[in-house]
Chain A
């Protein structure tokens, strides 16, 4: 298999890894770089539990190759808190009971983060449409919408 050395910023830290060209970004982040907050759920880019931020866009890391991140900037759920202080979205998800089993939560948070960058004060409908690429089986979404609203107000 062809291997290639790639480097990118992961949560503001420069990382360098040797990957097979066919390796998925999700696997490299999880297995080589040890950031297991990003999950894999469906393999067809429907569920969004693998969502990470790549160069200012939400991407599904189970459907893009690690080599595509070469030279880029990646942010995962592990990069949300700063100096031990939880991001307002993280606080709001706890406050408004926006998670249960926690499996979709990292993808949900990182997508919400980008949504609020794109639209700092979204309406309920804009939140629902903006997060519709992320599935959750536990919460019924209602409290996630509430949490994103809460965070938007605080940010």
Chain B
């Protein structure tokens, strides 16, 4: 089957298996117990082949060829290729200019860092129920999908069933976090089985299958070089990445962006010149590399630049808050064009930084740290001032299989003034039923309680690209606002007709149109809704509804300033998070309660990645640890208390000024934890420690430095 990235992926293994737990055969049985019994009875004989686990070995001259099926192709969606195990090279920026700046700068810091393989692991695993009606020729699929309309298109292309006869329903989804964007082999198997057998087929993964085979994230081996003058002003940034994509290139990026939006790695800073080079390679691991609670490869980009800023600060002996201040893009410079081509929409970084430093008494913390250091104790202060790029959107920049990444909303106002609205996005816990209604309530002056939101059923919802990359508010929310404004524009014409005045004589106020300067002459939206079905101006059609397919002019760029304080036990290596202060600026805030909830959740997932998650493989390619016994999901006990704060800098191009929020806390917190842990050792010359900061790894560093000697 085709992948979103332009490769092909085996639904069931064809001659060879390329990763452990790859699907080889499917059993269809009366129930899950019999199916499990039958799995043991299918006898498969294998001839083991040499394995590549380390991506640094993928392009060795003597490396075994992994994908014999594409060995003759010079392109696997995104070429050109320079080795049978090479997938793509993607480069952006001014290479010569960057090299020149690096050669002539006062200082250059360089660091290798690994953003390890992690798994989004929502509590609900993936699954589907496929039901083909042989008589009508209709296919209905209930599926854990963050992008049901895309699934419909892919299923139609694969099966030959017209899209009009395919109904994809994403019901309630128990968390997605980027894991439920792709189309998995088992979905296809269930669909094919239903078509062949004419019976509904249910497939539900167990946790081990989920962790072993569905979309993981990252596995980015990055090298950063940051050049600056002696005052810490950045001169250039150069980044090289080796990306381990696993056995098939099926990361879920916009089709033309093999490294996603990684080139936003210049961050919140004025970087005069930069260059990025990313090579993707095959290894014998499950395919993936999705955007786990971030826009495409943005977690990686933010980690890289925020680490490099800390390392530069250490090299120059300039405080990490100060060095960031010196390099910030200033509020008046927005919209700001970065050296790698993005146009940052709005921001006020210095204000956000100051607010956080004041709130935590940064100077006081540094003083305390100095005292602790004098006593031989390990205390670290982490700081990040990150910028995200979200809302995979402008169709001129992004598409999936050629479909532009717009978003849609359809709003119908009933005669009595209640509303039914449908969107192309799908909530996986973000509460779209609540927040989209709030947008419509404000735009139309109708109570939220009487506004019903529906999404996830492709038979009824307008085509949309789905929910990931913080698209819902930036794109879906914009579509909702614009559709509502179309409704209001028609309502205004009806109001003018009812009040026998010109449209220009009317003012909109909360929930009604009022005739300027004539108190009492007014029509509420409810009255207008009624009139829309019986008394409209001549030549106007009845009804009150609108659809909008919103193709935004730009991405949105939410940002945040996070500060963390950790205390490290010298004898166990345990890192205790004493404090975590997160200030987010996501522009206009639609529902503050939900925003805060999203931030708590994102920070907690960031904490998990930073402090314990990893997916280690042995040299045979066996995944060591694919259950919750080994894979770290923090519980109530480990999870720190979060303190949240905000500033509001609206996006100038979004109809509501909103930017999206759910991913920032995940993207931003991970480098903030690393920043804090490394900071605890900074006075000893340590510049970087790779994720995750488990007690064992931290203790190793302590031991290496000889800090664990008892008096």
Contact = CB atoms under 8 A, between A and B. Distances in A.
B217 to A, nearest CB: 14
Interface in B166-205: 172-175, 177
Nearest to A96: B593
Interface in A109-146: 127-129, 131-145
B46 interface: no
Contacts of A143: 597, 600
A43 B206 contact: yes
B633 interface: yes
Given A100-B429, A102-B174, A141-B604, A136 B123 contact: yes
A117 to B, nearest CB: 18
A22 B33 contact: yes
B124 A103 contact: yes
B428 interface: yes
Contacts of A100: 175, 429-431, 597-598, 601
B124 A44 contact: no
A43 B207 contact: yes
A4 interface: no
Contact of A41 (B123, B177, B597): B123
Interface residues of B, number: 40
A101 interface: yes
A42 B636 contact: no
B339 interface: no
A73 interface: no
B123 A132 contact: no
Interface string A85-103: 0000000000001001111
Interface stretch (B239-247, B266-274, B637-645, B696-704): B637-645
A95 to B, nearest CB: 10
Interface string B261-302: 000000000000000000000000000000000000000000
Contacts of A134: 635-636
Q: Which residue among B174, B605, B629 has the maximum number of chain A CB atoms within 10 Å of its CB?
A: B174
B594 interface: yes
A110 B33 CA distance: 27
A41 B206 CA distance: 8
B172 A102 contact: yes
A20 interface: yes
Q: Which residue among A20, A46, A132, A142 has the maximum number of chain B CB atoms within 10 Å of its CB?
A: A142
A116 to B, nearest CB: 15
B33 A47 contact: no
A145 B123 CA distance: 19
A47 B632 CA distance: 11
Interface string B104-137: 0000000000000000011111000000000000
A70 interface: no
Contact of A140 (B124, B430, B601): B601
Contact of A44 (B125, B597, B629, B639): B629
B448 to A, nearest CB: 15
A146 B641 CA distance: 12
A49 interface: yes
B600 A142 contact: yes
B627 interface: yes
B597 A97 contact: yes
B97 to A, nearest CB: 43
A113 to B, nearest CB: 16
Contact of A103 (B123, B628, B629): B123
Contacts of B49: none
A138 B604 CA distance: 8
A47 B628 contact: yes
B207 A138 contact: no
A104 interface: yes
Interface in B410-468: 428-431
Contacts of B637: 128-129, 132
A142 B642 contact: yes
Contact of B601 (A42, A43, A138): A138
A149 interface: no
Contacts of A104: 123, 174
Contact of A141 (B125, B173, B598, B636): B636
Contact of A138 (B175, B635, B642): B175
Contacts of A47: 123, 207, 628, 633
A43 B593 contact: no
Nearest to B211: A42
A73 B122 CA distance: 31
B595 to A, nearest CB: 10
Contacts of B598: 100
Contacts of A97: 593-594, 596-597
A73 to B, nearest CB: 26
Contact of B33 (A23, A102, A139): A23
25 contacts: A42-B207, A44-B628, A47-B123, A47-B207, A49-B123, A97-B597, A100-B429, A100-B431, A100-B597, A101-B428, A102-B172, A103-B123, A103-B124, A128-B636, A134-B635, A135-B628, A135-B635, A137-B121, A138-B175, A138-B429, A138-B601, A139-B601, A140-B639, A140-B642, A144-B636
Interface of A: 1, 20, 22-23, 27, 39, 41-44, 46-47, 49, 97, 100-104, 127-129, 131-145
Interface of B: 32-33, 121-125, 172-175, 177, 206-208, 428-431, 593-594, 596-598, 600-605, 627-629, 633, 635-637, 639, 641-642
Given A46-B629, A101-B428, A103-B122, 4 more contacts: A42-B123, A43-B208, A100-B430, A138-B597
Across chains A and B, which 4 residue pairs bring their CB atoms closest together, nearest first? A103-B174, A101-B429, A140-B600, A140-B604
